[in-house]
Structure 1
Amino acid sequence: MKIIRLLWLIGAMCMTGLAIAEEVPALSRGQTLYLPIYSHVWHGDLDKAGVPLKSLVSALVSIRNTDLTRSIRVVSARYYDTRGKLLNEYVSASKTIAPMATYEMYVERKESAGGSGANFVISWQADVPANPPIVEALHADIQGHRTLSFITTARLLNTEDGLVNKP
């Protein structure tokens, strides 16, 4: 019995240590985020021409307001291809996300122009400092008994003014 209690105590201490080590993001009035997107995924062996197989994937972009009391606004969501060419602005007018709500954007599976190095540059703002949103993309290709799915996570970009200005 003492061994079980000791193991439980050690486990609890380890879990507490992990929780303490997790960095809590600072409140912010806005940020610019980089989100990797894959229009397709290269995989498998190379064929005789030296080219691997290619699977197209859709991407569901999820912008989750993690603030319990304050709304945030998505002011820009620019979609770029592998070469850095702007393909589309997904937010034509500012979108308000209520506390604990989510705003979604969808890139269809048939949209292959982005390539394997596509990305979103997403800018958000708040009137008062708020918890930064969690921004992820769920990529999927589900056909019959074959499923390919994975998630990418946005990263903070350092910009001179903290936001990417609209053209």
Structure 2
Amino acid sequence: MKRIVYFCLAVMAVMLVSCTSLEQGNFWGSGSNKEPEIALKPVVVDAAKVVTGQTIYVPIYSHIYFENNKSSLDLTATLSIRNTDLDNSIILTAVRYYDTNGNLVREYLKEPSELRALASLAFVVERTDSSGGSGANFIVEWVGEKQVSEPVVEAVMLSAESAQGISFISGGRVIKNRTANNK
């Protein structure tokens, strides 16, 4: 069932790309071509108040191979972090991008920052950025000072040219849980 949902989302994304008026420089159709900017509020983390948190691994595919290992298609990757809690903020403590060899390429947060209830963030790795390689990944770390619903952390990879395109989702995987007992 999950595969069918992911396939339908991918088809809808390709249809959206195919139907937009790119010649007008407006990817989203009529209206503004920019999302509202989310201002992250820098905060100081008080370790004594932290009751929950996670470290999440998100696979990123900056390119995929087709036909053989010499032909590849470059992809734009968007990391999405969505606070699913209806009432409480979470604190993002790290958003790091690593390459195929596990080397740190880029750190996206300079300091811990609050993500408000139901707010979302997106971090984009452009199609022309090959610094991560085919085995790139993001590590996202967050904590909460109250029990909260876990955020949704996933990536969408996309490439579109002319009337053709490909897109797919890569879900984040929790690799470490943090509780009040194991700070």
Name the structure 2 match of 1:65.
83
Name the structure 2 match of 1:41.
64
Q: CA RMSD in A?
A: 1.5
Name the structure 1 match of 2:120.
102
- In the TM superposition, structure 1's runs of 4+ consecutive aligned residues that sit over 6 Å from their partners are none
TM-score (norm 2): 0.67
TM-score (norm 1): 0.73
Does the residue aligned with 1:59 lie in a helix, a strand or coil? strand
Residue 32 (1) aligns with residue 55 (2): yes
Residue 82 (1) aligns with residue 138 (2): no
Unaligned runs of 5+ in 1: 1-27, 163-167
Distance 2:176 2:150 in 1: 15
Name the structure 1 match of 2:148.
130
Distance 1:120 1:42 in 2: 20
Distance 1:150 1:95 in 2: 28
The offset of 1:158, in angstroms, is 2.6
Residue 114 (1) aligns with residue 128 (2): no
Distance 2:111 2:124 in 1: 17
The one of 55, 60, 69 equivalent to 2:73 is 55
The offset of 1:123, in angstroms, is 0.1
The offset of 1:32, in angstroms, is 0.3
Distance 1:137 1:127 in 2: 26
Deviations 1:82-138 (A, max 9, x none): 111111111112231111110111111111121111001110011111111000111
Name the structure 2 match of 1:156.
174
Distance 1:150 1:92 in 2: 29
Asked which structure has the greater CA Rg, the reply is 1
Name the structure 1 match of 2:159.
141
Report the identity percentage: 38
Distance 1:32 1:69 in 2: 22
The offset of 1:52, in angstroms, is 3.1
Aligned residues: 129
Unaligned runs of 5+ in 2: 1-50
Does the residue aligned with 1:128 lie in a helix, a strand or coil? coil
